[in-house]
Amino acid sequence: MTFISPWLAVAGAAAMALPILIHLFLRRRQKPIEWAAMELLRRAVQQSQRARRVERWMLLVLRCLLLLLVGLAIARPATMSTIALNQPVVLGIVLDNGVASRAAASPATPGQSAFDAARGACVESIRALPGGSLVHVLTTSGTIEHTSEAVDPDRAVAILGTLAPTNEPSRVREAVDRADDALRRTTMPGRIVLASPFSRGAIDTEAQVLPATKATLEIRDVGSDDQGTAAIVSMVQRTLGPQSTGSVTVDVTVTRPSHEQARRSIPVTVTDVMTDRSTKADAVFVEGSQRAVATVTLVVDPSVTEHGWLASIPADRQPADDLRSATISTLSADPVLVLDRERLDVDEGSSAQWIERALEPIAGMGLAHRRMDPSEVRTGALKGSTAIIICRPELLDATSWAECTTACESGALLVVVPPTEDTFVEWQDPCAALLGPGVTIRREVMEHDPPRRLQPQQPASPITQLIASELTDLVAPVEVSRSVVIDGPSTTLSPILTMDDGSPLMVLSTRGRGVVVMLASAPVPSWSTLATKPIFVPLVQETIRQGEVLLDAGGSVMIGLGRLPEGTTELRPVRGSTTGEASLTVDPSGMIVGDEVQPGIMQAIQAQGASAESLRSPSLVALNVDPTACDPQRNDAARLTAWLNQTITTPAVEASTDTTARSSTRASVWLLLAAAVVILAETLLGRMFSVPEPSST
Amino acid sequence: MANQGLRAEQYLSPETLAQLAPFELRAKMVADGVMNGMHQSPLQGMAVEFAAHRQYSAGDSIRHLDWKVFGRSDKLYVKEYRQETNLDVMILVDGSASMSFGTLGVKQGWGGTDATRRRGAWTKFDHATASAAALAFLCLSQRDRVGVAVGADGLRGAVRKSATRDQWRSIVRCLSSEPVEARFSPAACINQLLAQTSHRTLFVILSDFLGDPEGLRTALARLRHRGHDAMLLAMLDRRELTLDLDVEAPFIGLEGEDALDVDTRTIRKAYLDELQRHLQGIDRQARAFGYDLQVFDTHESVGPVLAALLSRREGMVAGGRR
């Protein structure tokens, strides 16, 4: 058992001696009393003194217990272990490997991340286990369960050594629930150790209400400092390609891990850091949704290729619940071009019709689109189109393919859908050539009977990253009856969706500054049920949005605990004198454009009222910098760090609302109830043995 | 001399005497006193007060035949008369160490001795001597012969029965003593007193009766055997009666008993039960011999309780006449 205020527990234990000392003190001070009726007294003493002595001791014990309980209650015990010390147990290790665990553990231990500290705490707990104990290893992010069944402590330590922090939020509740489920399956007594940097905001305020567990839950809070973490801004920089017409749509996507008791809308301000113009919009959460997008359409100077947009959310409107991700993405404001011929004789609807339907605005998230006949694709026809969906590749001639290739290499997204009608036109080869060298598309269409399903665990892809958490559920009902076979080296093709036999249903490749996405099965019912399932709308929209982000138009700099690309280095300017520890790791390909960008950032932040004066005492600002997107030659890391420390400071998230405090409060309440029961027992005992008022004989 | 300054008021406050005045002290039993007085004589004969008619039986003197009744009813009845005599009263005060217990501060007008004032508390002995003096004064005012004795393990002082003028002073002098370091032995004291008593006497024993009940029973049996009457006046301090103490302390006996660690809160009920049982036992013993027991609370005035006792005895005697 641990206490939040251990010295109060000691005081409570010491207070136990108080009734005894009072008893002894009063006893010593008693003077002898002369008495005449000694014989009567002696007989009375013989009758009742013995029983009364027992009662008095009971009262003394109760009073001591009362003081002890009150002391313990005030001391706020954090956890109550009911397991005998030397009894083997099954230990459920829940290690927080969420994005926040990348943060440094504390200023005192530079170089050690919170994850390392949490892992160290877990190893320490494992080492302290009595002989014969077993361990389950779970993490809060990514793959949760790392052991299908309990393993011996050495094996568990080895597994812990292989784990690494992810770039996703923690799912602490789920992990603890799973640990509890695992422990329920064993007959041995169970205990759960949850090691997490709570104070860093890895677990949002609401999610910190941990589930009730059957097993004893011990919390190892490795976030030793009291700095709250808040991400308030997100930034993207793009180099507009030749396809751009100067109209850009900026989407600010706010995601949150929980939709319970969260704000319905988040005001977002998008600032063009080059022009310092700000535009405001609201990201509105649909009921039950964990993601909202604020879309702002901006007109930019097409002659200026370097642009930076900063999205910010006012600190006072940004509870920890909404911090999980505040990412920004840009799209060309040009409509998505759908290449297909208008047809009215298709019973089931054409691929283009299904796709266009999926592009229609739903819940505020829509994409403008226009239809173009493939025969119209001539030189210059695709200028200004950033996203092109080729639904009838068989109708493209060589010129059209060349134009598409040019557009792609210039920085456009091409989505290719196989033709649904039998054709003798050789569309496969130019399409394969578009996808990249070594790629082949078989001519014959594969019939699948029974229809193929998709793998439950889909590969990680930038296209599906925002729907990754729901992807398993989304792909489950999809059946594919017909498909084309796309082969190619893994260096060229990266799968987005795969079928259960491992063959790709959707692939991604890059060509020049553009991106090509190809579907192996057409989204029509005779080919697959893709278009009729819930996955289709988010898949199409995410393909366009994320595909455009992938265009070689620049990288992004994220400020805050957003979704970090792999290999991201975290800069963590912290309060006061620890500023010096912060360092900016940048990459020669750089994105932050030095002096031009920083004033824009400052003004954007100040526009949100988040100036140093308006905010409370400095707290943590986490700056996550993509090393592949920064140029050390052009960015003054020290200046940026110092500026962030001064300006982008947000009030600390209520880090004190940690689970430890909550559980200890619960324990304290129970102890106070026990004290009340003791008082009641003492009262009853006193009344039971009380002597009636003397009456005259 | 230490006793020169004694005054009757020390023992009989005007308040006490005022409370006793309406009552006549009568012995329950018929005293065979030698002086005419207000007490019934066991001897029937020439007297002033008619008692009852009785049927003539052989051997009766015809001098007492009621001829008027014979003339009216043609039956022989003998007239009987009640002869009144003086009462002999012997008051025995317990002077043992246990009688020195008292928890009441001395009050103005309550009487008492120099020792009382010196101790600053109204003891059971004080209460007993005050009650004894009151009784003696009443007896003397009725021209009854009264004597007083103070005893513990034996008689420590005594005044023979007399109804002379100087008797009151002698009684007061005798009572103005102090308890001694000894236990009360009723049997020994009564034995000594019986050796000096020839006439039927009302013995009034004032004690706390906290000693061995068997000794008391022996004493009462002897009194009964010799045909004497007796009144037992139990003097108990209010604290003894209620144990209204909330302490845990060693208790020391006044008569040399070993110390006893007592928590009064824990044993109060048992003590009160024991006290009740003890007093009931003494009362049973007294009634077995036809005697009275009256408990005196030393925190209360002597007068009302004494008056109540005398009233009760007068009622019993009056009932006996009818």
pLDDT for position B205: 94
* Axis-axis angle for helices B213-225, B264-288 (nearest 10): 20
Domain at B8-28+87-321, CATH from 3.40.50.1370, 3.40.720.10, 3.40.50.410, 2.40.480.10: 3.40.50.410
Q: How far is Cα A216 from Cα A73, in angstroms, rounded to an integer? A: 19
Dihedral sign for Cα A604, A606, A608, A611, please. Answer: positive
Shortest CA distance from A688: residue in chain B: B266
A248 domain-assigned: no
pLDDT for position A330: 61
Amino acid in position A571? L
Say which of A47, A689, A696 has its CB closest to residue B297.
Answer: A696
More reliable by pLDDT, B121 or A300: B121
pLDDT for position B269: 87
Amino acid in position A449? D
Minimal CA separation from A227 to chain B, in Å: 59
Residue A573: CA atoms inside 13 Å, Cβ hemisphere, count?
24
Cα separation values, A584 from A518, A622, B264, Å: 38, 11, 81
A288 domain-assigned: no
Residue positions counted in chain A = 697
Is residue A561 a contact partner of residue A100, using CB atoms and an 8 Å limit?
yes
User: A394: domain CATH number?
Assistant: 3.40.50.880
Mean pLDDT of A76-94: 64
A232 domain-assigned: no
Q: Cβ contact (<8 Å) for A697 and B276? A: yes
Minimal CA separation from A150 to chain B, in Å: 60
**Residues A361, A462 share a domain:** yes
- State the pairing for strand pair A479-483/A446-453: antiparallel
Phi, psi of A263 (to 5 degrees): -65, 150
Q: What digits encode the pLDDT tens for the residues B267-295?
A: 888 899 999 999 999 999 999 988 888 89
Tokens of A319: 């509870």
- State the pairing for strand pair A556-559/A514-519: unpaired
More reliable by pLDDT, A70 or A271: A70
pLDDT for position A566: 39
Minimal CA separation from B110 to chain A, in Å: 22
Shortest CA distance from A35: residue in chain B: B253
Amino acid in position A319? P
Mutation site, A690, A691, A693, interface B, largest B CB count within 10 A: A691
Please state the three-class secondary structure of A198-252 as a single string. HHHCCCCCCCCCCCCCCCEEEEEECCCCCCCEECCEEEEEEECCCCCCCEEEEEE
Mean pLDDT of A53-82: 72
pLDDT for position A70: 80
More reliable by pLDDT, B192 or A334: B192
Per-residue pLDDT at A156 exceeds 80:
yes
Domain final residue pick, A166, A195, A225 = A225
A308 domain-assigned: no
Tokens of B303: 């007068």
pLDDT for position B121: 80
Q: What digits encode the pLDDT tens for the residues A181-213?
A: 888 888 787 888 888 765 443 333 333 345 566
Q: What digits encode the pLDDT tens for the residues A622-656?
A: 333 333 333 344 444 454 454 444 443 333 333 33
Say which of B269, B275, B276 has its CB closest to residue A37.
Answer: B275
Mutation site, B104, B267, B282, interface A, largest A CB count within 10 A: B267
Q: What digits encode the pLDDT tens for the residues A15-26?
A: 777 777 877 776
Residue A322: CA atoms inside 13 Å, Cβ hemisphere, count?
29
Q: B243 — contact with chain A (CB < 8 Å)?
A: yes
More reliable by pLDDT, B241 or A620: B241
Q: How far is Cα A53 from Cα A313, in angstroms, rounded to an integer? A: 71
Phi, psi of B105 (to 5 degrees): -65, 150
pLDDT for position B272: 92
pLDDT for position B132: 85
Q: Which pLDDT band, with edges at 50, 70 and 90, does A576 fall under?
A: very low
- ipTM here: 0.77
Q: What string of DSSP letters covers A326-390?
A: EEEEEEESSPEEEE----S--TT--HHHHHHHHHS-BTTB---EEEE-GGG--TTTTTT-SEEEE
Q: Cβ contact (<8 Å) for A38 and B248? A: no
A275 domain-assigned: no
Tokens of A661: 């405090």
Mutation site, A30, A33, A58, interface B, largest B CB count within 10 A: A33
Mean pLDDT of B29-38: 36
Residue A102 in 3-state DSSP?
helix
In the block, tokens 């009443």 appear at B138
Q: What mean pLDDT value characterizes chain B?
A: 78
Q: What digits encode the pLDDT tens for the residues B145-182?
A: 899 999 998 998 999 998 887 888 888 888 888 888 88
Q: B43 — contact with chain A (CB < 8 Å)?
A: no
Which bin fits A140, alpha (ψ -120 to 50), beta or left (φ > 0)? Answer: alpha
Q: Cβ contact (<8 Å) for B267 and A37? A: no
Per-residue pLDDT at A366 exceeds 60:
yes
Residue B19 in 3-state DSSP?
helix
Shortest CA distance from A55: residue in chain B: B266
In the block, tokens 């000894």 appear at B182
Q: Which neighbouring-strand residues pair with A235?
A: A310, A557
Minimal CA separation from B221 to chain A, in Å: 24
Tokens of B57: 């039986």
Q: Which pLDDT band, with edges at 50, 70 and 90, does A389 fall under?
A: very high
Q: How far is Cα A453 from Cα A483, in angstroms, rounded to an integer? A: 12
Residues of A in contact with B259 (CB under 8 A): 32
Q: Which residues of A touch B (CB under 8 A)?
A: 26-27, 30-45, 47-49, 52-53, 55-56, 689, 691-692, 694-697
Q: What string of DSSP letters covers B28-96?
A: SSPP--SS--SEEEEEEEEEEEEEEEEE--TT--GGGB-HHHHHHHS--EEEEEEEEEPPEEEEEEE-S
- Helix, strand, coil tally for chain A in percent (to 5): 35, 25, 40
Q: Cβ contact (<8 Å) for A32 and B252? A: yes
Give the least confident one: A283-287, A343-347, A618-622: A618-622
**Residues A634, A485 share a domain:** no
Task: Please return the burial class of B74, using the count of CB atoms within 10 Å of its CB with bins 0-12, 13-18 and 19+.
Answer: exposed
Shortest CA distance from B183: residue in chain A: A36
Per-residue pLDDT at A131 exceeds 80:
yes
Give the least confident one: A482-486, A660-664, B163-167: A660-664
Minimal CA separation from A44 to chain B, in Å: 5
Phi, psi of A94 (to 5 degrees): -115, 105
Per-residue pLDDT at A152 exceeds 50:
yes
pLDDT for position A586: 33
Q: Cβ contact (<8 Å) for B253 and A31? A: no
Q: What Rg do the C-alpha atoms of chain A give, in angstroms?
A: 34
Q: How far is Cα B188 from Cα B191, in angstroms, rounded to an integer? A: 5
Per-residue pLDDT at A370 exceeds 90:
no
Per-residue pLDDT at A563 exceeds 60:
no
Q: B236 — contact with chain A (CB < 8 Å)?
A: yes
Mean pLDDT of A461-482: 86
Q: How far is Cα A1 from Cα A219, in angstroms, rounded to an integer? A: 11
DSSP A145: B
Residue A495 in 3-state DSSP?
strand
Q: Cβ contact (<8 Å) for B242 and A26? A: no
Name, of A43-52, A572-581, B227-236, the range with top average pLDDT: B227-236
Q: What digits encode the pLDDT tens for the residues A487-509?
A: 988 888 899 999 998 899 999 99
pLDDT for position A71: 77
**Residues A98, A71 share a domain:** no
Per-residue pLDDT at A353 exceeds 60:
yes
Minimal CA separation from B281 to chain A, in Å: 13
Q: What digits encode the pLDDT tens for the residues B70-125?
A: 898 888 888 877 655 667 899 999 999 999 888 887 665 555 566 666 667 888 88
Q: Cβ contact (<8 Å) for A48 and B270? A: yes
Mean pLDDT of A61-81: 71
A95 domain-assigned: yes
Range of the domain at A622: 555-646
**Residues A475, A617 share a domain:** no
Q: Cβ contact (<8 Å) for B267 and A697? A: no
A38 domain-assigned: yes
Mutation site, B244, B254, B255, B262, interface A, largest A CB count within 10 A: B262
Q: Cβ contact (<8 Å) for B270 and A31? A: no
Residues of B in contact with A689 (CB under 8 A): 266
pLDDT for position A499: 93
CB count within 10 Å of CB A382 equals: 24
* Axis-axis angle for helices A659-688, A38-75 (nearest 10): 170
Residues of A in contact with B272 (CB under 8 A): 694-695, 697
Phi, psi of A191 (to 5 degrees): -150, 140
Residues of B in contact with A29 (CB under 8 A): none
More reliable by pLDDT, A37 or A685: A37
Give the least confident one: A601-615, B103-117, B218-232, B253-267: A601-615
Residues of A in contact with B216 (CB under 8 A): none
H/E stretch holding B1: none
In the block, tokens 């005895």 appear at B313
Q: Closest by alpha carbon to A254, among A319, A337, A177?
A: A319
**Residues A187, A137 share a domain:** yes
Q: How many domains does chain A have?
A: 4
Q: Cβ contact (<8 Å) for B270 and A47? A: yes
A235 domain-assigned: no
**Residues A512, A417 share a domain:** yes
Amino acid in position A621? V
pLDDT for position A624: 34
**Residues A145, A105 share a domain:** yes
**Residues A354, A484 share a domain:** yes
Q: B269 — contact with chain A (CB < 8 Å)?
A: yes
**Residues A572, A478 share a domain:** no
The share of chain A scoring above pLDDT 70, in percent, equals: 56
**Residues A560, A545 share a domain:** no
Q: Cβ contact (<8 Å) for A694 and B272? A: yes
Q: Which pLDDT band, with edges at 50, 70 and 90, does A246 fall under?
A: low
Give the least confident one: A266-270, A299-303, B42-46: B42-46
pLDDT for position A226: 33
Minimal CA separation from A693 to chain B, in Å: 8
Q: B69 — contact with chain A (CB < 8 Å)?
A: no
Tokens of A371: 């239809």
Is residue A333 a contact partner of residue A350, using CB atoms and an 8 Å limit?
no
pLDDT for position A287: 59
Q: How far is Cα A172 from Cα A164, in angstroms, rounded to an integer? A: 16
Q: How far is Cα B146 from Cα B136, in angstroms, rounded to an integer? A: 6
**Residues A593, A533 share a domain:** no
DSSP A170: -
Q: Which pLDDT band, with edges at 50, 70 and 90, does A288 fall under?
A: low
* Axis-axis angle for helices B213-225, B186-194 (nearest 10): 20
pLDDT for position A331: 62
Q: Determine the longest span between alpha carbons in chain A, in angstroms.
A: 131
More reliable by pLDDT, A589 or A19: A19
Say which of A32, A47, A55 has its CB closest to residue B259.
Answer: A32
Give the least confident one: A49-53, A169-173, A583-587: A583-587
Q: Cβ contact (<8 Å) for B251 and A44? A: no
Interface of B with A in 95-154 (CB under 8 A): 98-99, 101, 124
pLDDT for position A565: 37
Q: Cβ contact (<8 Å) for A47 and B251? A: no
- State the pairing for strand pair A2-3/A369-372: unpaired
Say which of A41, A689, A696 has its CB closest to residue B260.
Answer: A41
**Residues A491, A374 share a domain:** yes
The ranges of chain B annotated as CATH 3.40.50.410 are 8-28+87-321
Q: B24 — contact with chain A (CB < 8 Å)?
A: no
